[in-house]
Each structure stands twice: as structure tokens, then as C-alpha cells.
Amino acid sequence: MAANTMDISDFQRWIEMRFSRSPGPGGQNVNKVNTRVTLLLDFESCAAFSEIQKAKLRERLRTRLSHDGRLRVVRHGERTQGRNRKAAESRVVELVSEALRQDKTRKSTRPTISSGKRRLESKRRRGQRKSQRQIAAED
């Protein structure tokens, strides 16, 4: 699956959502309504990812994996369960696509001629300064 064309519907079957009460202040709404969303993506059994992509996800998202190896995202900033669910789904898509993005290869560069000359000139000056610190030998 290409990382730039990813959608939550591509791996909806491998997602488990749990709802609980949100932490923090909020009065009666917080005490009654399960608005906090914990989204778990089981990418290991997901057919949408190749083995190479699964290894990349394991490596790059290892701090976000649950003890059973599922990607875990928790959202509770919004007042409604629906908004928190949408936020969690978009965050999962963002995390997975970012983890699967191809790293740019570094192009090796050479120093310019003038920077090489500047470096040699500063080395020469530094050497002269150090040689001036030495006590002259008397004959």
C-alpha cells in the first residue's frame, strides 16, 4: 500500500475501538458519557501491509505499540465520542503514513574550492600563532 494514498477504510477490519470516560474536569457530561477513544490497530495481521512495511511500522512506532503488538492511539480532547473517534482515526492514518514514508537519500557533497582555501589558511594562521608562543632557543 502506498503511504500517500492511505485511508482509514483500508484497514478498518483490523481496528478495535474502546470507549471510556474522559479524564479531567467537565462536570456531568464527563461523568456520564464515554467520550474517550482508544484505537488499536492490529497491523501484524493486516493484509494491507507487506512484511517489509510491517517491520518498518514495528521499528518506527515501537513506543506506541501495546504489549500485544498493536498500534495504540488515545484521544479525549473533544466533547463528543464521534469527534474523538475521527481524531483518533486521522492520527492513526497520519502515524502509519509517516512511518512508511521513504527516507530521502543523502547526496554526498564536496567542499567548494574557496572553503577549502579558507580552511587551509585558518590552519596556517593557527599554526603560526602557536609557534609564536614558543620560547626562542638562544645560541
Three-state secondary structure call for residue 97: helix
What is the band of 139 on the pLDDT scale with cuts at 50, 70, 90? Answer: low
Is pLDDT at 26 greater than 80 in this prediction? Answer: no
State mean pLDDT over 37-64: 90
Element (H, E) at 17: strand 15-20
Which among 9-18, 25-34, 79-88 has the top mean pLDDT? Answer: 79-88
Is pLDDT at 3 greater than 60 in this prediction? Answer: no
| Domains within the chain, CATH numbers bracketed | 3-100 (3.30.160.20)
Is pLDDT at 2 greater than 60 in this prediction? Answer: no
State mean pLDDT over 86-113: 91
Task: Cell numbers for 134, please give them.
Answer: 614558543
The values of phi and psi at residue 16, to 5°, are -120, 130
Residues forming a β-bridge with 65: 71
Is pLDDT at 12 greater than 60 in this prediction? Answer: yes
Does pTM top 0.75 for this prediction?
A: no
